[in-house]
Every structure is written in C-alpha cells, then in structure tokens.
Amino acid sequence: MTRLRIACAGLGRMGKRHAVHFAEQTPRAHLVAVSSPDETELEWAREHLGPLGVTVYKKYDDMLKHEGLQAVVVASATAVHAEQAIKAMDADMHVLCEKPLSTSVEISQSVLDAANRKPHLKILCGFSRRFDASYRDAHTKMLAGTIGRPSVIRSQTCDKLDPSGFFVAYAQFSGGIFVDCSIHDIDLALWFYSEDGKPGPMVKSVSAVGITAVEPGLRKYNDRDNAVGLVEFHDGRIAYFYASRMMAAGQEDSTEIIGTKGKLTVNTQPQINLVNVYEADGVRRELPQHYFDRFREAFVTEAREFTDCCLDDKPVPLKLEGAVQAVRIGYALQEALISGKKIVFDEEGQRVERAAL
C-alpha cells in the first residue's frame, strides 16, 4: 500500500494530537519526522514517537529536507503558520495548516497566493468542524432543503475556564478571541451560506462587544474573555457569534442554523456521551472538558481525508479562499471589539470609511 510520507511542525497540544493521529490512526499515512524549537516538546517526541521510527528535528528547515518527505502538518504557534506553510509549498510539499492561516489578512492572503502558484499541491486549512459527523449531517440536510434557505446562524465556541492563566499568556500570539475561537464559527457560517461553489458570501458589516469577567490581564493584549460579534452579509443574511474562555462545567460549542422553513441545531445540549447521572439532588450529564474531547473523531477524519486527497489527487474539501475570508471577518470583529465601532465593507470586500457614508 502506498503511504503518504508526512511530517508535523510544532508539538504543543495541537501538534501532539496531529502527530499521533497521522502516526497511529491514519493507515495511508507514514509519519516520518517532527520538529519543534522547544526542548520539552522534543523530549516528548523522542519518548513517544522515536520508537515508531520518527525522526525528531529542532529546526523546521532541517525537517523539510527529510528524505522522501511529501507533506507537512503545520501545527506550530499561529505567528509562524503562514511562514512555515509557504516554505513547505516552496519545497513542493502538500500542507495541512492549522487554523487560522495567520492573524493578519495580508499574510493569510500570501498563503493563498503561494498555493495558487502550486496548483498541483493539496493545501488545506484545518477547520476541524467541517469534518465532524454532526455538522456534516446538518449541512447535508440543509442542502436537501430541510429548513428552506438558511438565513440566520448563531454559533459559539466556549472554552472551559483555565485558572492557570494560559489564555492570558496565549493572547499575545492568538490574534484575539474572535480570530482564535470564533474563527471556527465564522467558517461554519461561510460554509452553510456558500452557494454556487463560492467560499461564502461577502461581508457587509461587523460589530462586536466584549468583557473581561475573569481575566483582566487580557486587556493589555487588546483581548477579552467573553465577546459577542454580529456579522451582516451583502446577501441579506446575518450571523451571531459568542466566544468565551470561562465556562465552568466544560467545553460548550454549539450552532443553530435558522432557515425559512425550519431550524437545525448542533450540540445545543452538550454532553460527553449518552450517560445521565442520577443523584439525590437531581439528574446531570457530563460535558466534554476540552475542545479535543468534543472533536476527537473530526481530527482523525481530517487526517485521513487530507491523506486521501494527496495520494488520490482529489480536491481538498474546503477552499483556501474561505480560510482567508474567515480571517478577514475575525480580524474585523476583533478591531470592532476594541474600537467599539461598526466596520463596513463594500460588495468587493473593501473597507468603507464611515465618514464617507
């Protein structure tokens, strides 16, 4: 059986998962190398991946020279996503890049430009919810006309509170709560609203508000721990996004797609499994504790489908133009959150200064 020789850059929480998925749960892939500048992450790799024959590199550029390498997973810090993805493309590698492509619209566009120069390569931005069975089922039902024309989307990404202060330290690199958290929800809106093969409708305006309820330290990085964003599209539809870093019980990621003839919901009553706990003071169900608990299988499906695309020359399941559009919307929402101003775009996607309205 032909197997895709793939490497993983970055071995933080997300990188470790990608590495394990490709090494152990993707039969048509062969993880041959990993890289990280962090010595602790390298020690983890030597212990857990070394016995599988995976070569461990400290420098990303050295990893790209690994003999026979065909594809790279970019799961490093967001600040280097674009740089590493472009380097891999320049080396004629297929790329699975974790979301977002960058915290900058211009830099994200440079990834798309690089991909357009190498049309034979498979370049995928890892929006994991696109690979989730429930979201796919909802999308299939929407396409079948079950709810009529989808017109309003309400979607949220709500992380369990991490008292360690991780989110404060991470905020200086993440691009802000809308670019980091709501980027998933933005992508879903573009997916469910897309028509005629386009990556999604053009945004007309964005506005946002937010608070620091538990992590005031976020403000020094122009971020918040709770935020609400409203997006209006030129085709007359709207999307409402809620992002939070302070859920007490666990991870709460859910979506409502409201159409002219009905509504679809995904995970609006989150639970880790089908067990209910009956106790003296009532009945409860347990929630996923982290994002990975909820979307574990989606990540495995993503790895397998990316591998199939590379080996069988299939088109990737989502257009890179949509990933750039998602960053454009997330970046604008973050700016609206900080400035308190509504941001307006024309039908070509260009900013319109309010003074000119």
8-state DSSP, 210: E
Residue 306 lies in a domain: no
The reply to whether 116 and 159 lie within a common domain is no
246 with 269, same domain? yes
219 domain-assigned: yes
Q: Do 32 and 179 belong to one domain? A: no
Q: Do 195 and 70 share a structural domain? A: no
Structural domain contains residue 345? yes
Confidence at residue 166, expressed as pLDDT on a 0 to 100 scale: 85
Judge if 91 and 137 occupy the same domain: no
311: in domain = no
Q: Which of 104, 125, 146 is the last residue of a domain?
A: 125
Amino acid at 29: A
Secondary structure of residue 115 in the 3-state scheme: helix
DSSP 78-111: GGGHHHHHHHHHHTT-EEEEESPS-SSHHHHHHH
Cβ atoms of 169 and 337 within 8 Å: the answer is: no
Check which CATH number belongs to the domain holding 198 and give it. 3.30.360.10
Find how far residue 99's CA is from the centre of its chain.
4
Whether 83 and 175 share a structural domain: no
Number of domains the chain contains: 2
Residue 33 domain-assigned (yes or no)? yes
Per-residue pLDDT, 357: 45
CA distance 334 to 178: 6
- CATH assignment of the domain containing 78: 3.40.50.720
Residue 255 lies in a domain: yes
Same-domain pairing of 173 and 279: yes
* Residue 315 in domain: no
**pLDDT tens per residue across all 357 residues of the chain:** 899 999 999 999 999 999 999 999 999 999 999 999 999 999 999 999 999 999 999 999 999 999 999 999 999 999 999 999 999 999 999 999 999 999 999 999 999 999 999 999 999 999 999 999 999 999 999 999 999 999 999 999 999 999 998 888 888 888 899 999 999 999 999 999 998 878 889 999 999 999 999 999 999 999 999 999 999 999 999 999 999 999 999 999 999 999 999 999 999 999 999 999 999 999 999 999 999 999 999 999 999 999 999 999 999 999 999 999 999 999 999 999 999 999 999 998 899 986 544
- The parent domain of residue 197 ranges over 132-293+325-352
pLDDT at 356: 47
Q: Mark whether 170 and 61 lie in a shared domain.
A: no
Per-residue pLDDT at 354:
65
Asked, for residue 307, whether it belongs to a domain, the answer is no
8 A C-beta contact, residue 184 and residue 291: no
Q: What is the pTM of this model?
A: 0.95
Residues 87 and 103 in one domain: yes
**CA 306-307-311 angle, 5° bins:** 120
